[in-house]
Amino acid sequence: DIQMTQSPSSLSASVGDRVTITCRASQYISNFLNWYQQKPGKAPKVLIYAASSLHSGVPSRFNGSGSGTDFTLTISSLHPEDFATYFCQQSYSTPYSFGQGTKLQIK
Amino acid sequence: QVQLQESGPGLVKPSGTLSLTCTVSGDSINSYNWWTWVRQPPGKGLEWIGEIYHYGGPNYNPSLKSRVTISMDESKNQFSLQLISVTAADTAVYYCAKLLRPVNVYDFWGQGTLVTVSS
């Protein structure tokens, strides 16, 4: 099975800050990497698919990059509604595993 | 707009069977998409349980394979999850989701349902 390792596990930042979250796969996954945002009591919502493609309706301040085993999610300028938990997920081979999550908190 | 809705008991006794159904609207489960179950224990991360497809599958997480069954009822546009021999470790919010092919991303999710395993 492919293991996904996210860092950091938590992050404190302010509105307007630029933040980066990283995700590393235990083996090659090409660009089959997705990023989701989850708010308390809600289902995850997709932000980025195929490593760098912005899902419909997602603000352009979200950017994904990477290929192979190393990936990043960058939020260029934090808005108040961005404080949430973020998960990466590989969809290269089943079981489609998730990272452990990064909780983004207000500083 | 595709919508998914989980339903089933919120409380299951230890050693019992967890049974959930996901009702899909706005899309046919006979389409070229995979239909998936994911769970999230309280305060923890997401775990992929398994998936099913009209033209193939099901595929299961090896960690649960001996206890899980996913099936489809095309006449009702539903798919279901059955997990046997449950313990407290199976307490979680269970989500159903649609995997969009070929980009392999979960673009629609149910709201989730909390299942507690307790006597």
| pLDDT tens digits, one per residue of B86-100 | 999 999 999 999 999
pLDDT at B56: 83
Q: Which residues have a Cβ under 8 Å from the Cβ of B66 and sit 6 or more positions away?
A: none
**Radius of gyration, alpha carbons of chain A:** 13
pLDDT digits (tens, 9 = 90+) for B23-37: 999 999 998 899 999
Contact assignment for B46 to A89 by CB distance below 8 Å: yes
pLDDT digits (tens, 9 = 90+) for A60-72: 999 999 999 999 9
Contact assignment for B105 to A45 by CB distance below 8 Å: no
pLDDT at A78: 97
Integer Cα distance of B95 and B34 in angstroms: 14
Buried b / exposed e over A50-69, threshold 16 CB at 10 Å, is bbbeebeebeeebbbebeeb
Tokens for A98, please give them: 């998730």
Mean pLDDT to the nearest integer, B54-65: 93
Q: B57 pLDDT exceeds 90?
A: no
Chain A touched by B46 (CB under 8 Å): yes
Q: Which of A34, A43, A99 sits opposite B105 (nearest CB)?
A: A34
Integer Cα distance of B102 and B113 in angstroms: 28
Q: A74 pLDDT exceeds 90?
A: yes
Q: How confident is the model at residue B55 (pLDDT cuts 50, 70, 90)?
A: confident
Contact assignment for A44 to B106 by CB distance below 8 Å: yes
- Average per-residue pLDDT in chain A? 97
pLDDT at A101: 98
Q: Which of A4, A56, A91, A92 to mutate to test the interface with B (most CBs of B within 10 A)?
A: A91
